[in-house]
Amino acid sequence: MRALPFAAAAAILGAALPARADDAPIFATLDRTADGDQLRADVSTVLDNSPAPAGATATHVASRLDLHGQISVDRDTGIMLYGNLALSRAFDSRDPDGDLLGIGNAELGVAWRGRLARDLDIAAHVGMTLPTASDDELRLANTMTAYTRLADVALTLPDTTWARLGTSLTWHRGGFHLRGDVGVDVGMDSQPNVAGETVTFPTMGPLVHANLGLGYTRGKLTAFAELVSLLRTGALLPGTERLEHTAAIGASYQLGPLTPFVAVTAPIASQAEGRSAAFMLGVRGSF
């Protein structure tokens, strides 16, 4: 119920947008700039079972709203402008009055989308974040929802400015779609850790992410599976791991200019495996 305001915001986006003939297949956790002109809203509910004192287990719940938009500057060249922003709210079963509302780093950038061959599309983007992410205890809301979009973990880190670069290839034939993303996020300033010390870049090092998605479309229905990997190349902050992965499965259905989707994502092959899962509901409006 607490996520209903986020869901309402997602449901109304794109309602009056005209149809576009070359809609790219939608993926829940991969790079969104590989798609065309769009407005998109994703709502996620995260369940996290973390160890509590005396071996007990407490269930933590958080909600996240991801907003993304991009629009063509020149359709002939494929150049687009895009922006991202995420809002998170954390609820703790051990403290009903401890709700926390966090905001992520806003991102603005330029993307390009083109075609290498009849069955192969390419996209690239260059972006910069603004240091708008919540700090102090409010960062817990962003931390709890970070596994929802592991490739965008840079958007959850406070007091930082990031340069973000990435490229995507999408192969499509018949009803099959195969997407691969590679990206790197480079910190431009210092990031205080939870111990109050300062870890400066490039000590922490760039964040490198590689994603893979496979989808199959039949009619208006698409089913997809995804794998996202994140590599931290420098010093590790407390509670983080060098290499982390998330996996996701889901489905989307195209309704004219709107493409709603549902997905489930969770960390794998990491300390958080089996303790966290996110249920996603989103809609993309294409124009």
Q: pLDDT by residue (tens digit) across 68-95?
A: 999 999 888 999 999 999 999 988 655 5
Q: What φ, ψ does residue 153 adopt, rounded to 5°?
A: -60, -25
pLDDT tens figures, 182-223: 999 998 875 554 444 555 444 568 999 999 999 999 999 999
What whole-number distance in Å separates Cα of residue 234 and Cα of residue 45?
30
pLDDT of residue 158: 86
Q: Which residue has 């996620």 as its token pair?
A: 44
- What is the 8-class DSSP label of residue 150? G
DSSP output for 60-123: EEEEEEEEEEEEEEETTTTEEEEEEEEEEEEEETTEEEEEEEEE--EEEEEEEEEEEETTEEEE
If one looks up domain 4-286 in CATH, what number appears? 2.40.160.40
Q: What pLDDT sits at residue 57?
A: 45
pLDDT at 17: 39
Tens place of pLDDT for every residue, the chain, 287 residues? Answer: 454 444 444 343 333 333 333 457 889 999 998 888 999 999 999 987 765 544 444 557 899 999 999 999 988 899 999 999 999 998 865 555 667 889 999 999 999 999 999 999 999 999 999 999 988 777 788 888 999 999 999 999 888 899 999 999 999 999 999 999 999 999 887 555 444 455 544 456 899 999 999 999 999 999 999 999 999 998 777 777 899 999 999 999 999 999 999 999 999 987 777 778 999 999 999 87
Task: Check: CB of residue 85 under 8 Å from CB of residue 67.
Answer: yes
Query: Position 150: which residue type?
Result: L
d(C-alpha 189, C-alpha 218), whole Å? 47
State how far the Cα of 106 lies from the Cα of 152, in Å rounded to an integer.
11
Residue 107, pLDDT score: 98
109: which strand partners?
82, 127
Instruction: Return the DSSP state at 270.
Output: S
Q: Do the Cβ atoms of 56 and 94 come closer than 8 Å? A: no
| In the chain, domain spans | 4-286
Report the C-alpha gap between 142 and 95 in whole angstroms. 18
Q: How many angstroms separate the CA atoms of 40 and 84, rounded?
A: 10
Strands 38-51 and 207-218 turn out to be unpaired
